[in-house]
Amino acid sequence: MITISAFEWVPDFAQGQVRDLRVRWALEEAGIPYHTRLVSLGAEQSSAAYRALQPFGQVPYFEEDGFALFESGAIVLHISERSEALLPKDPAARARATQWLFAALNSIEPWIQQVASIDYFYKDEDWAKLRRPGALEFAQLRLTQLADKLGDKPYLDGDRFTAGDLMMATVLRILPPIITDPRLAAYVERCTSRPAFKRAYNAQMGDFKQAA
Ligand SMILES: N[C@@H](CCC(=O)N[C@@H](CS)C(=O)NCC(=O)O)C(=O)O
């Protein structure tokens, strides 16, 4: 049985956003059952035992029959390799889905996360007030470029949802007010109205409720 780690509690703004959601969503799309190991913020995440599984003390990690993996991108890819619902069989389509998964993590997430970190953690700092307009401008440039590439297609590679869309949608959800292009807003809505996303989201929120 697969085990993934998740936080037992996070502040309200982070609930429904923690990166184990990506892994839960991939498992739901693939129809693979899993358990969660709930970890507390602070001492437990920083313990040597936890850091043996996730060297940065973060969530999520993935474990199955003694095989352990960290980094949500690597975990989602590992799960996706087992399911055509996430990675097409055709090698070229598969490579393009992987390309979009990396684009989400490497070309989009850092810029959205920069603005999100300012808004969530530093908004009253003088340096943050100076930095925010430039960070926002760059994030918006990337988002416009993404929207142009998406165009009128339902998903990034055309008509079918892949692991690339799963990852991109989780990244675009990080800071909803930043998504002003109607094509991207509709895309996020399309991806997150999938039943597998709803099950994953409810499972994360359910774990927080249970621990409260
Ligand atoms: N690159 C990592 C990032 C994981 C990450 O940022 N996890 C956050 C929760 S969303 C975390 O554990 N934060 C607590 C910390 O960094 O101490 C991944 O994608 O798995």
Determine the pLDDT at residue 29.
Answer: 98
CA distance 202 to 139: 29
- Output the pLDDT for position 122: 97
Quote the CA–CA distance of 159 and 161 in Å, as a whole number: 7
Measured from the CB, is residue 44 less than 6 Å from ligand 1? Answer: no
Query: Any idea where the domains of the chain sit in the sequence?
Result: 2-85, 91-195
* Domain 91-195 in this protein, CATH class: mainly alpha
Distance 67 CA to ligand 1 centre (A): 20
Edge-to-edge order in the sheet of strand 2-7:
34-39, 2-7, 61-64, 67-70
Q: Ligand 1 centroid to 182 CA: how many Å?
A: 29
Taking the mean position of all CA atoms in its chain, how far away is CA 110? 12
Q: Which atom of ligand 1 is nearest to the CA of 54?
A: 20
Our answer on whether the CB atom of 57 is closer than 6 Å to any ligand 1 atom is: yes
- The β-bridge relationship of strands 61-64 and 34-39 is unpaired
Q: Write down the pLDDT at residue 63.
A: 97
Taking a C-beta distance cutoff of 8 angstroms, is the pair 196, 204 a contact? no
Ligand 1 and 5: CB distance under 6 A = no
What fold characterizes domain 2-85?
A: Glutaredoxin (3.40.30)
Q: Is residue 19 lining ligand 1, measured as CB closer than 6 Å?
A: yes
Query: Residues in the chain with pLDDT < 70?
Result: none
Q: Helices 182-192 and 195-211: crossing angle, nearest 10°?
A: 70
Return the pLDDT at 211: 79
Q: Which residues pair with 155 in a beta bridge?
A: 158
174 C-beta closer than 6 A to ligand 1: no
**pLDDT, position 139:** 98
Pair 9, 41: CB distance under 8 Å: yes
